[in-house]
Amino acid sequence: MFFKDIIGQDEVKKRLIHSVKSGQIAHAQLFCGPEGIGKLPLALAYARYIQCTNRGEDDACGVCPSCKQFSSVMHPDIHFVFPIYKNEKKKKRLCDDYIDEWRKCLSENQYLSLEQWLSYIDAENSQVSIYADESREIIRKISLKTYESDYKIMIIWLPELMNPVCANKLLKILEEPYEKTVFLLVSNQPDKILGTILSRSQRINMRVVSPEKISEALQRRYSLGQQDADAVAHIANGNFIKALETIQLSEENQYFFDLFVRLMRLAYGRKIKDLKVWSEEAADMGREKEKRFLAYTQRMLRENYIYNLHIPEISYLNSREELFSTRFAPFIHERNIISLMNELSRAESDISQNANGKIVFFDLAIKMIMLLKS
């Protein structure tokens, strides 16, 4: 990751670059802000720039030995701490036991959420933490001599998940910093970090990414058309991780869109037999997918209600959805929107409680007939 790869955050980039050029690198820095704004990528780009032996005016060179090692996430003077779950069966108790997965994960995607990381290590339903044992590893690593660089850098991702024992050990290190050692803490929830750690860290507050910047990145990197990129950027609401997830779910969303359109057309036409067939198909998706479809349907009805206001700035429809909405939106209005949303919310709750999907969806379809005509 280079500074040039990070979406937005131009002021923070300039500040970090200046700190390196002026030799004023704070020994502990806290990158904080909401998820998906580029905190981890920025910390990685900053670490690369610090270690680069042939720095450019505003970025690392990318070709020196340090940069090449960094590209494979194998720089000997860059260390990582991140949440894990203890897998006693596989004897995985420390971050280094997961370092291969971490390197591969970062190589594929540096705009990373905790949910994505847990999925990557098959720990979705596990309690994760930065455990007390990790404190010994942190001390051991920063006590080592540097291999090739002037600085040792420790990147701690999501320190708010640090065990209290580990947090107190880290505090002692920050109180008596090692020479030429830099700690880069990357946090979504700094209010959950030990207050004394916060007071000893230089805080770098980062803002959400503008829709324009996200749209530009989606068009440039993923070849989206401007209208679709703008729609995704609006939905993302400043979170680039959410924007990427929206793109990755596009195939599923296309299916949901088709299912939604069929439901609305069949309900409007009062085609009971066809709606029974529709409900059986919807019930075959599996519980989690059914819940996602119901959430998608709620979004579509909400967007169609807003579409009637004719304010493009608050419309989050892609081009295909908008084309349908030009004809469908007038049927969603103040007389039925609340009842429609309540029925969908009730259906989602029923599915969550393992109700019979065929009955839930057929009942929903019948109610749609009445509500669309109201």
pLDDT grade, residue 354 (50/70/90)? Answer: confident
Mention every residue, 6+ apart, whose C-beta is less than 8 A from residue 352.
Answer: 287, 291
Is the domain of 7 the same as that of 117? yes
pLDDT, tens digit, for every residue of 221-276? 988 888 888 888 888 889 999 898 888 766 788 899 999 999 999 999 999 999 99
Burial 336-353 (b: 16+ CB within 10 A, else e): bbeebeebbeebbebbee
Mean pLDDT value of segment 36-64 = 95
pLDDT of residue 249: 64
Is the domain of 203 the same as that of 331? no
Asked if residues 67 and 222 have their Cβ atoms less than 8 Å apart, the reply is no
Which domain covers residue 218, as residue numbers?
Answer: 211-248
The count of other CB atoms within 10 Å of the CB of residue 212 is 11
pLDDT of residue 109: 86
Mean pLDDT value of segment 19-34 = 95
Inform me whether the pLDDT recorded for 314 exceeds 80: no
Mean pLDDT value of segment 204-214 = 94
CATH number of the domain bearing residue 311: 1.20.272
Mean pLDDT value of segment 55-60 = 94
Is the domain of 189 the same as that of 294? no
Q: List phi, psi (to 5°) of 326.
A: -60, -30
Average pLDDT of the chain to the nearest whole number: 92
pLDDT of residue 317: 78
pLDDT grade, residue 313 (50/70/90)? Answer: low
Mean pLDDT value of segment 303-321 = 80
CATH number of the domain bearing residue 142: 3.40.50.300
Looking at the DSSP bridge assignments, the partners of residue 152 are 181
Is the domain of 178 the same as that of 58? yes
Mean pLDDT value of segment 11-26 = 95
Asked if residues 49 and 21 have their Cβ atoms less than 8 Å apart, the reply is no
Is the domain of 344 the same as that of 215? no
Is the domain of 347 the same as that of 232? no
Mean pLDDT value of segment 20-26 = 94
Stronger pLDDT, 228 or 160, i.e. the higher one: 160
Instruction: Using the 3D structure, point to which of 182, 207, 232 is the last residue of a domain.
Output: 207
Looking at the DSSP bridge assignments, the partners of residue 30 are 185, 203
Residue 234's closest CA among 350, 130, 315, 321? Answer: 315
Inform me whether the pLDDT recorded for 319 exceeds 80: no
What is the Cα–Cα distance from 227 to 225, expressed in whole angstroms? Answer: 6
Instruction: Using the 3D structure, point to which of 248, 270, 297 is the last residue of a domain.
Output: 248
pLDDT of residue 25: 95
pLDDT of residue 329: 94
Mention every residue, 6+ apart, whose C-beta is less than 8 A from residue 370.
Answer: none
Asked if residues 167 and 129 have their Cβ atoms less than 8 Å apart, the reply is no
Residue 210 Rama label (left phi>0; alpha psi -120 to 50; beta): beta
Is the domain of 227 the same as that of 283? no
Instruction: Using the 3D structure, point to which of 207, 229, 262 is the last residue of a domain.
Output: 207
pLDDT of residue 252: 82
Tally the domains of the chain: 3
* Percentage, residues of the chain above pLDDT 90: 74
Is the domain of 173 the same as that of 34? yes
Is the domain of 241 the same as that of 270? no
pLDDT of residue 309: 86
Considering only 82-91, 99-108, 326-335, which range has the smallest mean pLDDT?
A: 82-91
Is the domain of 201 the same as that of 286? no
Q: How far is CA 22 from the centre of its chain?
A: 33
Give long-range contacts, CB 8 A cutoff, 24+ apart: 85-89.
Answer: 85/118, 85/121, 85/123, 85/126, 85/127, 85/128, 85/129, 86/131
Is the domain of 225 the same as that of 267? no
pLDDT, tens digit, for every residue of 92-136? 889 999 999 999 999 888 899 998 898 888 887 678 899 999 999
Task: Output the CA–CA distances (angstroms, integers) from residue 218 to 213, 243, 321, 326, in the order listed.
Answer: 9, 8, 19, 26
Inform me whether the pLDDT recorded for 88 exceeds 80: no
Does the global pTM surpass 0.85? no
What is the Cα–Cα distance from 251 to 320, expressed in whole angstroms? Answer: 13
Is the domain of 199 the same as that of 236? no
What is the Cα–Cα distance from 196 to 292, expressed in whole angstroms? Answer: 42
Residue 9's closest CA among 241, 237, 210, 242? Answer: 210
Q: How many CA atoms lie within 13 A of 338 on its CB side?
A: 2
Inform me whether the pLDDT recorded for 367 exceeds 80: yes
